[in-house]
Structure formats: C-alpha cells, structure tokens
Amino acid sequence: MDLNVLKKEYEVLAKQYKLPSFKEINEDFEIDKIDRPSECLLRLIRKVIMEKVVNSLSFLDMILSPMNAPRVYLAYFKSLNAEDKKNIDKIYDALSELSIFSLDLEIDYSEKNEAEMIIKIFKVWNSIKPNFRSILASMKKHPAASNKKEKSYFG
C-alpha cells in the first residue's frame, strides 16, 4: 500500500475515533510497513501494533525465566536489581492484559472496538516506556564481558 494512501485512510479514521496521529503511532509501532489495502484497516493496524507488544512480552518472559534464554543475555539479566524486577512485573502485567484483550477482537470484528484498543495500547505503551528504558539502561551498565570469569582451557 502506498504510504500516502495509508496516511490518508488512517487520518480519516483518526478523526472519526480520536486516534493518535499517524506520526505518533508510526514512530512507536511502525505501521508504515503495512503493504496491502484492507477493508478492515484498524484491525490490520492493531495486529501490527500487537507484534511489538508480543515481542516485548517474549523478551520479558526471557528475563523472568532465563533458563532457555540465549547465553548472550544471561550476564545482563543478572545485573538487574529489585527495582528493575518490580518494573518488569508492572510492564509484563500491562502488556499481558493488552494481549488478552486483543484476543477478543480476533473473534468479533468491530471497527469501534479496534479503535478503542489502538488507543488503549498507545496509552499503555507510552506509560511503560520510562520503566522499559530504565530496565534496558540497567542491563547496559553491566556488559557481559565484565561479568565473565577467567576460564581455563578444558580440552
């Protein structure tokens, strides 16, 4: 789908449902990657937005249950403090709720409900961004290399 067409169609819906601007929603969720026309544009937009929510949940799952996490992340996860873990729980709860509520829209389509969900996701995402930044900053403070212990050759 041509980007200008997508913007125009979105702006019509944004006015009707008081959605965030195309620029705001695109900066957070990259909706400009939508490449096909749809008669259910808000559903498609919600699905693109939910990709980021689900990916973020997967990352947080990895932090909370690092048993199967790639080894590259383990040292970073160990650097998280109690405050970070509280923030992770808050973010996880908020994103989990969005994920569950979004499933309702997979069953029954309603343009109005799709719009309401997009607004809700946008608000929740913007409310958790500071905590998410804080967690990532904590992880970056302790690079994996500094946490490695000297190992001897065991071959």
Given a contact cutoff of 8 angstroms between Cβ atoms, the answer to whether 84 and 133 are in contact is no
Q: How many CA atoms lie within 13 A of 27 on its CB side?
A: 5
Predicted TM-score (pTM) of this structure: 0.87
| Residue showing tokens 């400009």 | 32
Q: What angle do CA 129, 54, 108 make, to 5 degrees?
A: 115
pLDDT in tens, 16-41: 999 999 999 999 999 999 988 899 99
- Residue 7 CA to residue 30 CA, distance in Å, equals 12
Which SS3 state, helix, strand or coil, does residue 69 take? coil
Per-residue pLDDT tens over the stretch 77-129: 888 889 999 999 999 999 999 999 999 999 999 999 999 999 999 999 999 99
Helices (H) and strands (E) in the chain, counts: 7, 0
The residues near 13 (Cβ < 8 Å, ≥ 6 apart) are: 19, 41, 42, 111, 115
